[in-house]
Copies of this chain bind each other. A is one copy, B any other.
Amino acid sequence: MEIIGTVQEMKGFSSQVRRAGKTIAFVPTMGYFHEGHLDLMREGRRRGDVLVISLFVNPTQFGPKEDFKSYPRDFERDKKMAEGVGVDILFAPETSDMYPPDHQTIVRVEKVTQNLCGRSRPTHFQGVTTVVLMLFEIVMPDVAIFGEKDYQQLATIQQMVKDLHMSVEVLGMPTVREADGLAMSSRNTYLLPDERKAALSLYRSLQRAKELLQKGERKTDWILREMNGILRSESLVRIDYIQICDAHTLKDVDGIEGDVVVALAAYLGKTRLIDNLVYRKPT
Q: A residues engaging B (CB < 8 A)?
A: 7, 11, 15, 18-19, 21, 98, 100, 102-112, 129-130, 133-134, 137-138, 140, 159-160, 162-167, 249
Contact = CB atoms under 8 A, between A and B. Distances in A.
In the complex, the count of this chain's copies comes to: 2
A136 to B, nearest CB: 9
A114 to B, nearest CB: 10
B111 A163 contact: no
Contact of A105 (B107, B134, B167, B249): B107
A102 B111 contact: yes
24 contacts: A7-B165, A11-B165, A11-B167, A100-B162, A104-B109, A104-B111, A104-B112, A104-B159, A104-B163, A105-B107, A105-B108, A105-B109, A105-B110, A105-B160, A105-B163, A106-B108, A107-B108, A107-B164, A130-B164, A134-B164, A134-B165, A137-B167, A138-B165, A140-B167
Contacts of A164: 105, 107, 130, 133-134, 137
A111 B106 CA distance: 11
A125 to B, nearest CB: 11
Majority secondary structure of chain A interface residues (helix, strand, loop or mixed): mixed
A91 to B, nearest CB: 12
Given A18-B18, A100-B163, 4 more contacts: A104-B110, A105-B108, A105-B160, A108-B108
Contacts of A100: 162-163
Given A105-B159, A105-B160, A160-B105, A15 B167 contact: yes
- Which 5 A-B pairs have CB atoms at the shortest separation, nearest pair first? A105-B163, A104-B110, A104-B111, A137-B165, A106-B108
A22 to B, nearest CB: 11
A138 B163 CA distance: 11
Contacts of A11: 165, 167
